[in-house]
Amino acid sequence: MSTVLDLLKSHRSIRKFTEQAIDSDLLNDLVLAGQAAATSSFLQGSTIIRITDKATRAEIAKLAGNQKYVETAAEFFMFCADLKRAGNYCEAYEKPFEGDFTEHFIIATTDVALMAQSLVTAAESVGLGICYIGGIRNNPAEVSRILQLPKGVYPVFGLCLGYPDQDPEVKPRLPVSVIMKQEVYNEEGDKDSIAIYDEKIREYYKTRTGGGHGISWSEQVASLLSEKSRPHMREFLEQQGFKFK
């Protein structure tokens, strides 16, 4: 049995799954493990929607950029930030609802990320594989319509779960010296460290299963941040009741 440290350092995204189902008791335990994650102010601002209907899965896969593993994974969860559930009790206790502040949005979104990653760690510890699906934010309004999400709730990402039918390499991360600083933020030595890291990433992409484009990390993220990214998200979130006061 791997240690927790070994497990966390060996994470890979899995995009090919066997047909083996996940036992319902195990699935329930995974959700309980996710719920045990830290939650700011005890909001518990996360809601999971388990999607088993094949037609719904196919529609979401298409909306997420034709990611077929949304259809083929044993389980597919939609993780939603949820201020509605707690907000219902403002009226019950005759208090004004002020849940449309930016801080509340941050709390709920962070809750989702923490819960999902705890669930993922638990899943990987029992031999399951996962793949996050951020592509659902390509069409968040349509996804919300399909899932009947009310105001105060928005889909943050999807999650594929299942038994792996592939064994991909672990993608190297940035050196610790680049992402952990002492006392204050500084970039001393980062340029040289990242240049070495870029070569590792080029090699990773060239040699990984199926081959790749051979692009470096710095090239990849420069392209990411030089292009508009889902400019529809702010308007969508405002329509869902997140006003960012």
Residue 2's pLDDT band, with cuts at 50, 70 and 90, is: low
**Is pLDDT at 207 greater than 90 in this prediction?**
no
Q: CATH fold of 4-168, please?
A: NADH Oxidase (3.40.109)
Mean pLDDT, range 3-27, rounded to an integer: 96
CA 98/CA 113 separation, integer angstroms: 23
In single-letter form, the type of residue at position 177 comes to S
Q: What sign has the CA pseudo-torsion 145, 150, 151, 153?
A: negative
Look at residue 43 in the predicted model and tell me its pLDDT. 96
- Given a contact cutoff of 8 angstroms between Cβ atoms, the answer to whether 31 and 119 are in contact is yes
State pLDDT tens for residues 156-176. Answer: 999 999 999 999 999 999 999
Where exactly does CATH 3.40.109.10 map onto the chain? Answer: 4-168
CA 204/CA 198 separation, integer angstroms: 10
Strands, E assignment, the chain: 46-50, 75-82, 129-133, 153-162
Mean pLDDT, range 114-133, rounded to an integer: 98
**Is pLDDT at 1 greater than 90 in this prediction?**
no
State pLDDT tens for residues 220-243. Answer: 999 999 999 999 999 999 999 999
Residue 33's pLDDT band, with cuts at 50, 70 and 90, is: very high
Look at residue 41 in the predicted model and tell me its pLDDT. 94
- Given a contact cutoff of 8 angstroms between Cβ atoms, the answer to whether 76 and 162 are in contact is no
Task: Give the global pTM.
Answer: 0.94
Mean pLDDT, range 84-100, rounded to an integer: 92
| Cβ neighbours for 83, distance < 8 A, ≥ 6 positions apart | 45, 99, 104, 105, 108, 152, 153, 241, 242
Mean pLDDT, range 12-21, rounded to an integer: 96
In single-letter form, the type of residue at position 169 comes to E
| Cβ neighbours for 164, distance < 8 A, ≥ 6 positions apart | 14, 16, 17, 18, 127, 128, 129
Look at residue 214 in the predicted model and tell me its pLDDT. 81
Look at residue 212 in the predicted model and tell me its pLDDT. 63
Q: What is the CB-side half-sphere exposure of residue 62 using CA atoms within 13 A? A: 8
**Is pLDDT at 113 greater than 80 in this prediction?**
yes
